[in-house]
A and B are shown apart, each in its own frame.
Chain A
Amino acid sequence: MVPLYMYLLVAAGLFSIGLYGVLARRNAVAILMSIELMLNAANINLVAFWRYNEPANVGGQVFAAFVFVVAAAEVAVGLALIINIYRQRRSVVVDDVDMLKW
């Protein structure tokens, strides 16, 4: 099989790309999508470690499944927030929502 580190390398790349998206994109929806990428990177790690170290233990897969759940919830709430902010301020650019400052 492909060595474990290859999966980890892919997950690291996916995570880094997601991080870049979160740090650099202006649109809140894009940031949300980048967060999804980072969650998926974590999921790849979870499943890969399960497969290579403890295939007899279902815990790895269970945790991956919980990440799905959390991701779904996060997307639902996050998108609702974005829509609400858009209604209030006619913008989804996060730089415009900077009232919480000095």
Chain B
Amino acid sequence: MELTVESLVFLLFSLITLGGALLVVTTRNLFHGALFLMLSLFGVAGLFALLTAPFLAGIQVVVYIGAIAILIIFAIMLTPQVTAVRPTNSQWIAGLVVAVVLFTMLASVVTPLMSELGVEGWGAAFTETNPPPVPGNSIALLGEAFVDPDGYMLPFEVASVLLMAALVGAVMLVRPGPEDEDDALPPALAEAAGAAPLGESQE
């Protein structure tokens, strides 16, 4: 890989993405984690831009960083267990091993490394470097495709219904019941909580 401006920019965004992600899963402070998530998502937006998908890059910033991440920050604020003595559970080593093995497996499949090492028939080496250019009016084509009856109009409408359903469902779930307006624990559950100590005591 020659060292061009484009490749330097790619490396920069890649580092932002992966580094942010690593910090998300390792930081003790959940609020910091959310901020790192925003960083990582911003890196992904950069990668989209590099791939000449400016519309998606914009959406990434607006929807993910602007909406989802903010939503997560709200959730963190509403559930006051922001910092944890022990952020990981008892199986974290197994999870790490599984993640590393998965990464190794995927990497060996998508990179030409194995064929360079002389192993035949191992995955597919995605070595394309010069794809055809993107049409100039790709955003316009995308917009038309969403509303074209022969294109993606039906999935588009279904997606809107899904969003509506999710919205209503979320409202229903968090709406306080008449008996727990002051966030008090119902007596039965308080007993259960007393009998089986919850997470805080372990942290």
| A and B directly contacting (CB within 8 A) | yes
Select one of B44, B75, B98 contacting A44, CB under 8 A: B44
**How far is B24's CA from A66's CA once the two chains are assembled, in angstroms?**
24
Q: Which residue of chain B has the shortest Cβ distance to A40 in the bound complex?
A: B44
Min distance, Cβ B161 to any Cβ of chain A, angstroms: 10
Taking CB atoms, residues of chain A closer than 8 Å to B18 are 10, 13-14, 17
**How far is B31's CA from A71's CA once the two chains are assembled, in angstroms?**
20
1/0 contact string of A28-67 vs chain B (CB within 8 Å): 0110111011001001100110111101101101101110
Taking CB atoms, residues of chain B closer than 8 Å to A69 are 159, 162-163
1/0 contact string of B146-179 vs chain A (CB within 8 Å): 1000011001000100110111011101101000
Select one of B130, B142, B171 contacting A62, CB under 8 A: B142
**How far is B75's CA from A80's CA once the two chains are assembled, in angstroms?**
8
**How far is B56's CA from A23's CA once the two chains are assembled, in angstroms?**
29
**How far is B25's CA from A15's CA once the two chains are assembled, in angstroms?**
12
A61-B56, A62-B155, A90-B193 known; 20 new pairs, CB 8 Å cut-off, are A6-B10, A8-B106, A14-B21, A17-B18, A20-B25, A20-B95, A29-B72, A29-B75, A40-B44, A44-B48, A53-B128, A55-B52, A61-B142, A65-B142, A65-B146, A72-B68, A76-B167, A77-B173, A93-B198, A93-B199
